Amino acid sequence: MTSRLVAGLLAVASAAGIVVGMSLVGGWPSSLVAVVSTMIVLLLPAVGWLLAFRRPEIRYGWVLLAAGLSLGAGTLGVGLTASGAPAGLFTYVSTVGYALFYGLTWIFVPLLFPDGRLPSRRWRAVPWISGIAIAVHGIGTALAGVDPSRPAMTSLPADRLVAAAAGGFGQFVTWVIAGVVFCSLVLRWRRSEPPERAQYACMVAGVAATAAGGVLTLLFLLGLSTPTLTAIAGLALVGSLPAAIGVAIVRHRLLDIRFGIRGSRLHLVFDVRPTVGEVLSDLGTALEDTPEPVEQLGRLAAAVRAGLELRWAAVTLADGTRVVAGRAEGPAALTMPVRGGLGHIECGPRDAGPLTGQDRRLLEALAVPAGLAIQSAGLVTRLVNAQEAERRRIERNIHDGVQQQLVALIAGIELARATGAGADMLAHLREQARQTLADLRELAAGIHPSSLSQGGLVEAVEERCSRLPVRTTVTSSPDLRSRRFTDEIEGAMYFTVSEAVANALKHAKAATIDVRLSRAGGRLTAAVADDGKGFDAALTRRRGLATLSDRLDALGGGLTVGSEPGKGTRVNAWVPVDE
């Protein structure tokens, strides 16, 4: 908001200086020629305000506003001097103002076209050299007392010759750099892609017209020009570049600003595509208000479609899941992969015109929240699948184990009652009931062991490892036994250790297992190592550990598995904890 207010104030100040100055010089508003000339000159602050207002983050609009402000100061100074005001200060203002205006329009406006950035790093010294040359030109000429409104230079006293020479040298350097910048502009125009070539063509034409105006102005200073040529030169100098930029905006959508006609009447529409910041801000709000990951992908695809004005856009995950905004028809015009190989964003054709470099930069910016949304969706999907798999496992264990034992126990009790069973049968039924109770406890321990709830992580791991048929050692930090963590953290670490030791028994045929629990550097770590047969970690799926890895990921942690054939296996798991 502040930057837009500043842009408005600069534009108003520029326009005021231009209007007042030209009215004092050309008899405005009684002279039609003066009015038309003023309207043309006002193009410069108008275009500068338009770009700075809608794209405040891009320096190009501010450069045009600075040029307009310099032109306004110079014109005002000339007008006040011509109206009879004391020369002195106003002559200095006009001289310095015009020097700044010429330097900005001849060098900085074409050099920073179209997005306010230098063509390459090799040009970093040019703005500094140009700034010094422009300052020397303006200050030297002002100190020499040269009046820019006079067609010829009069003889100067000796004490002003040095200042005049410095001003002339600064002007010469400015001309040389302007020529180099113009040549680079032509090269950029020839090498640009078709969508941007038309914009560069407008700028090349505008700079060429400005140069022609400069040549005619030089004739004016030498006293070799006519009033008509003088008027043409002035309009070419101050009106060519803003006119060229205006054409690039209207016809070629410079910086994604466009005009159009909407409806049945001639209604002029000023429409600007959202900036990268605006799209990211709106997308962030939409994702925050949308907790469901799949719906977040839909919001993301819709943001890409709206931001780039596409017929359709799609977000595709690595597993093939695809969410489309709009109606996907035909091949994608642009595909942007998301970091980490999580998926990619597909862009259909634009509603009008091809995709440009600015579109690619916007898509690259959107790829960051896209990766987060895709990662969130994938993680939630894996967690849901893991929960469903765990539910089916518990259901299967109950059905195949405890449920069958209870059915058999009930049948035995009914038989004992019907036959009047003796002590032997009752003892058998009692033992069967005890075994069923033990199985129930073991099943409950697989869900959340009571030792974990009552004694903490170290005690639960020790109890779990004490029942193993192989030699198992459990080592923990001294302060870890009495330390408690959240249920989610303790449960995730306990089941990771349980799964790791179970795999060591079932698959690795290990003779010894070593379990280490520690806390350091803001992490709770569990390491399970065995001396089993090992495996090729690159070729073997982790299966049960994969769901636990997702569980640790959800807590901000991670899991790694290292193994080689014949060298055992080591599982490392960690989660962040408070110190």
- Nearest one of 373, 349, 362 to 300, comparing CA atoms: 373
**268-272 and 312-317 strand pairing:** unpaired
Query: If you ran DSSP here, which 8-state letter would residue 254 be given?
Result: G
The pLDDT score that the predictor gives to residue 271 is 47
Banded pLDDT at 130 (limits 50, 70, 90): very high
- Give the helix ranges, DSSP H, for 318-402: 357-397
Tokens of 9: 């104030």
**Domains and their CATH numbers in the chain:** 2-269 (no CATH), 272-376 (3.30.450.40), 384-445 (1.10.287), 457-576 (3.30.565.10)
The pLDDT score that the predictor gives to residue 516 is 94
Q: What are phi and psi of 85, to 5 degrees?
A: -70, 155
pLDDT 10s digits, 515-543: 999 998 889 999 999 998 888 766 655 55
Q: Angle of helix 194-221 relative to helix 227-252, nearest 10 degrees?
A: 170
Mean pLDDT of the chain: 77
230 pLDDT more than 90: no
Q: What are phi and psi of 538, to 5 degrees?
A: -75, -20
pLDDT 10s digits, 77-125: 888 887 777 766 777 888 888 889 889 988 998 998 877 888 888 899 9
Q: What is the mean pLDDT of residues 344-373?
A: 73
290 pLDDT more than 60: no
- Nearest one of 154, 69, 145 to 105, comparing CA atoms: 69
Lowest mean pLDDT among 317-326, 386-395, 422-431, 518-527: 386-395
- Nearest one of 341, 358, 335, 300 to 57, comparing CA atoms: 358
259 pLDDT more than 60: no
Rank 135-149, 183-197, 339-353 by mean pLDDT and report only the highest. Answer: 183-197
Tokens of 137: 């030109």
190 pLDDT more than 60: yes
The pLDDT score that the predictor gives to residue 268 is 41
- State the residue for tokens 């930069």: 361
Sign of CA dihedral 159, 164, 167, 168: negative
The pLDDT score that the predictor gives to residue 490 is 86
Neighbours of 165 (CB within 10 A): 13
**471-476 and 512-520 strand pairing:** parallel
| Burial of 95 from C-beta contacts in 10 A (0-12 / 13-18 / 19+) | buried
269 pLDDT more than 80: no
pLDDT 10s digits, 45-79: 888 888 888 777 778 889 889 999 998 888 888 88
Question: pLDDT above 90 covers what percent of the chain?
Answer: 11
Q: What is the mean pLDDT of residues 314-335?
A: 82
CB 492 within 8 A of CB 547: no
- For residues 20 and 10, give the distance between their C-alpha atoms in angstroms, rounded to a whole number: 15
Query: If you ran DSSP here, which 8-state letter would residue 310 be given?
Result: B
Identify any residues that bridge with 132 across adjacent strands, giving them in sequence order: none
Residue that wins the pLDDT comparison between 232 and 101 = 101
222 pLDDT more than 70: no
Q: What is the mean pLDDT of residues 306-313?
A: 81
The pLDDT score that the predictor gives to residue 80 is 84
Q: How far is CA 397 from CA 299, 364, 386, 417, 543, in A?
A: 41, 49, 16, 29, 19
The pLDDT score that the predictor gives to residue 128 is 93
- Nearest one of 209, 361, 200, 215 to 276, comparing CA atoms: 361
- State the residue for tokens 């801000």: 281
* Cis before 29 (ω within 30): yes
Three-state DSSP class for residue 162: helix
pTM value surpassing 0.85: no
Sheet strand arrangement including 523-530: 471-476, 512-520, 523-530, 569-576, 558-563
Beta strands (DSSP E) in 173-215 are none
Q: What are phi and psi of 445, to 5 degrees?
A: -65, -30
The pLDDT score that the predictor gives to residue 514 is 94
pLDDT 10s digits, 406-450: 655 676 677 677 777 677 777 777 777 776 676 666 666 556 666
241 pLDDT more than 70: yes
Neighbours of 407 (CB within 10 A): 10
- State the residue for tokens 């190592």: 529
**Furthest-apart CA pair in the chain: how many Å?**
141
- State the residue for tokens 């700028």: 203
- For residues 119 and 488, give the distance between their C-alpha atoms in angstroms, rounded to a whole number: 54
Rank 40-54, 167-181, 271-285 by mean pLDDT and report only the highest. Answer: 167-181
- For residues 267 and 256, give the distance between their C-alpha atoms in angstroms, rounded to a whole number: 20
- For residues 416 and 353, give the distance between their C-alpha atoms in angstroms, rounded to a whole number: 88
341 pLDDT more than 80: no
CB 528 within 8 A of CB 571: yes
In angstroms, how far is the first alpha carbon of the chain from the final one? 43
Banded pLDDT at 264 (limits 50, 70, 90): very low
